[in-house]
Structure 1
Amino acid sequence: MSARDRARRELGQNFLIDRSAARRLVDLLDPSPVPIVELGAGRGAITRALVHTGREITAVELDRHWAAELRANCPQVRVIRCDMLDFRFPDTPYAVVGNLPFSITTAMTRRLLGTAGWSEAILLVQWDVARKRAGGGTMLNAQWAPWYELRLCGRVPARSFRPVPAVDGGVLKIRRRPQPLVPSDELRQYQRFVEAVFTGPGRGLAEIVRKVTGRRLRNLPALPKNLTAEGWAHLYTEVT
């Protein structure tokens, strides 16, 4: 790497250089005319692929150098130079595509899940994180499962990035459910319930639920991580 590239790396950036991988990400978008917000545009590999969709593109990039490069090379794209964690998302419907810096993957994912307006998000993250999110079984997944579907859509080899990271990337597609499994105005109450179950005392799910809620329920799976999205919604409904 040059000295300039080393400076870029300090922001936690792993630039995607594989054009075919960039196209695969873009091809995962549902057919729709809604604008696209790209997070962590970097050198513009995904940005250039997005331009071919003909949609309105807003690229978010923190690094001053790469933001200037994007403005020069992609004049049809609106470039916003800021930290993606601070970016003010549109009030109108949109889709999200992003190569997330590995160091803020969880923080940015949480922020997205708590943000209204977008219909789908195609995220390039660490392979293990993508597999974990799509596989379910965690408290974070359970807390948001009634509102979102998460799917693993492929692996991107580490050699597809510069600098080359220590791990492969994974493509995670998140879609907002058209009909949530739990009423949206009960989100905070539902999430507190999930946290209480995941952190509650007991040797199995039935015992945990009994100690947390006072209800004796049968036909529950062995552990909280074994519940599906529909299972969590049903359990919440039963105890409330």
Structure 2
Amino acid sequence: MQPARRTERDRSRRVLSQNFLHAPDAIERIVRTARLGPGDLVVEAGAGRGALTRALAARSGRVLAYEIDPELGVALADACAPLANVTCLAEDFLAARAPAEPFALVANIPWALTARVVDWCLDARSLTSATLLTQLEYARKRTGDYGRWSRLTVLTWPSVRWQLAGRVPRSAFRPVPRVDAGILRLERRTAPLVAPALLPAYREMVELGFGGEGGSLYASLRRRYPRARLDAACRAARLAVDTPVGYVWPEQWLSLFRLLRHTRSN
């Protein structure tokens, strides 16, 4: 039996990871989670036909809606034509510069591009928050929902708060994807938990800790820090010495850094 032939449109959707959000209740949840105000600037990546765009426009000051697919770009422009506060951009969002003024990103992003979109958000210094629909598993891994914490989350925790803000069922999308989505919320902290001048040292410690020595954070840090001081720091941070690095809370990392940052190795 011959496999079903995909049309050009089907192939385009597959390449661009296009699963369009259509459920009104899911759209409302995302907009509510974004906590927008009437004067806020919002950037939307992968705006599609504008279902989310219209809801964002009703809750914010201005919306910059990016859509790289030419066919969808026409539909987006038509849908948003009556909205004076929406600018439709037929451009690659990932190649765009972040606005100079503070802005929020809200998007049902192409799932195949999740890591690149998140990196773009972390690099955008004027971004105040990002509310992203991602695969549920990705959102859970990045926010410690499995009880484990990723290197990226720990590295950026002093400046960015990561939160799993909810789940959206796969039935809310067309075409229906294979898995549910998660609402991933990133918030840039107004007061970083580590002074900017100390962030390179904090990140160096995190990279050392995730270096894979013996499987535990203690074993990795022992390569640089004196045993007595490290033992005392782990006790103060309520951290067992055999704890695998992925199970160390961001708050424990911060405690260890503060306790160890003046320590010199043997």
Per the TM superposition, whether the score is higher than 0.5 is yes
Residue type at the aligned position of 2:119: R
Counterpart selection for 1:52 from 58, 63, 75: 58
Please point out which of 226, 230, 235 is paired with 2:256.
235
- Equivalent residue runs for 1:129-208 within 5 Å: 129-135=138-144, 137-208=149-220
> Are the aligned partners of 2:136 and 2:179 in contact in 1 as well (CA < 8 Å)?
yes
Q: CA deviation at 1:21?
A: 0.6
Q: Is 2:60 the counterpart of 1:39?
A: no
Partners of 2:41 and 2:60 within 8 A in 1: no
Structure 1, unaligned runs of 5 or more: none
**Greater Cα radius of gyration, structure 1 or 2:** 2
Q: Within the alignment, does 1:217 sit opposite 2:256 as a pair?
A: no
Task: Give the alignment's Cα RMSD to 1 decimal.
Answer: 2.0
CA contact (8 A) 2:67 2:93 kept: yes
Is the contact between residue 36 and residue 60 of structure 2 (CA under 8 Å) also seen in structure 1? no
CA distance in 1, matches of 2:225, 2:90: 47
Please state how far the C-alpha of 1:42 moved relative to its aligned partner.
1.0
**Residue 24 (structure 2) pairs with residue 12 (structure 1):** no
Alpha-carbon offset, residue 3 of structure 1: 4.5
Aligned-pair CA distance for 1:141: 0.8
Q: Residue 153 of structure 1 contacts residue 171 of structure 1 at CA under 8 Å; is this kept in 2?
A: yes
Counterparts of 1:229 and 1:80, CA distance in 2 = 38
Deviation, 1:6, is 4.1
Call closer, same or farther: CA 1:114–1:186 in 2, change over 3 Å: farther
- Which consecutive unaligned segments of at least 5 residues does structure 2 have? 1-5, 262-266
C-alpha contact (below 8 Å) 2:69/2:90 kept by paired residues? yes
2:40–2:103: 8 Å Cα contact kept in structure 1? yes
Whether the 8 Å contact between 1:146 and 1:230 is mirrored in structure 2 is: no
TM-score, normalising length from structure 1? 0.91
The correspondence of residues 65-84 of structure 1 with structure 2, limited to 5 A, is: 65-75=71-81, 76=84, 77-84=86-93
Higher relative contact order (CA 8 A, sep 6+): 1
